[in-house]
Amino acid sequence: MAEVTIRALSKAYGGLSVIHGIDLEIPDGAFVVLVGPSGCGKSTLLRMIAGLEEISGGDIRIGARRVNNLPPSERDIAMVFQNYALYPHKTVAANMGFALKMRGMSKADIAARVARAADILGLEPYLDRYPRALSGGQRQRVAMGRAIVRDPQVFLFDEPLSNLDAKLRVQMRTEIRELHLRLKTTTVYVTHDQIEAMTMADRIVVMRSGRIEQVGAPLELYDRPANVFVAGFIGSPSMNMIGGVVHGGMVQVGDVRLPLPAGVIAVDGQEVILGVRPEHLSVRSEGFQGSVAVVEPTGSETHVVVRVAAGAELIAVFRDRVAFRPGDALTLFPEIGKAHVFDRASGMRLSP
């Protein structure tokens, strides 16, 4: 186990720069999730840690070692890939033991380590099978077994659950989390799914266009997003963004005047974005008037899309059963104390 330290890391393909000087500290034993939209550089960053991509600038350290120029096999890492990448012509046991065999470990040691990993993952009945005879979830478990047996300093996961169906994904999410609690190995996990990030991570790293937007614990990101991008990316359904102008301690949104949340430092005339989570909208007699466009019941809660003035849409989430129908008139009022205020020009958070 070791911490991973990344300093001023950059990556360019020819003249095209895709990672722009990233600094990141991954503490020993942490479960860190890199999340962001596709093309944000999260997979590239992971592959640079793994040694599968060359580093154009900056440093990566695993523990005390600077690994920039080490080949992947010498970095003491293990990686789990999105499409499993099992060796098709090797049995499950051989797949798991292969890296150890390459290191020249004795047969008895390999067998012991494979048996231990198989025990952890419940793979004993399948050790003699070939990957093609396994289901998707089992294959992903074998891929994890292959990582576990190496007892590496860092686990790297590259969207490991993307190919699984929804139910299995939730189950594997829990399994990976439990595995981490048990092994306490430093883990870097890449996903584009913010729910995976929220549920699994100790710390989330939100990335966009090769830069880190914010680093923090899941609820910290949810409660205090640093900018409009993080606010919109974390949370589902995503945060409502309402444009407005500050005027005398109030925010003027269309013809609705709302008090500025406490602690916001803004000057008169400053254009701001008011961010309101769907669960912080409630039905009142005053507020944003509109008509119900879509009602999406999920069972435990109901999402209601309301079309308000000027074509904008607000999404509200109600915990209790509501009987709205498309076309109904509805007035929504935000819970001011829980609203977020961002500067329109820079997108940065103004709320404390």
Binding site for another protein (CB under 8 A): 47, 50-52, 71-73, 77-79, 81-89, 98-99, 102-103, 130-134, 136, 139, 146, 158, 163
Cα–Cα distance measured from residue 79 to residue 91, given in angstroms and rounded to the nearest whole number: 19
Least distance to another protein from the beta carbon of 73, Å? 3
* CB of residue 147 to another protein, shortest distance in Å: 9
Closer Cβ to another protein, 89 or 184, answer by number:
89
Comparing CB distances to another protein, the nearer of 69 and 300 is 69
Residues 6+ apart with CB under 8 A from 344: 243, 270, 271, 272, 273
> Least separation, in Å, of the C-beta of 47 and another protein?
8
Nearest-approach distance from CB 94 to another protein, in angstroms: 12
Output the smallest distance, CB 109 to another protein, in A. 16
Q: How far is the CB of 176 from another protein (least distance, A)?
A: 18
Helix axes 107-121, 136-149, angle to 10 degrees: 130
Nearer Cβ to another protein, position 6 or 78? 78
Query: Quick one: 102 or 267, whose CB is closer to another protein?
Result: 102
Nearest distance from C-beta of residue 124 to another protein, angstroms: 19
Select 105 or 336, whichever has its Cβ closest to another protein: 105
* CB nearer another protein, residue 134 or residue 242: 134
Residue 22 vs 50, nearer CB to another protein:
50
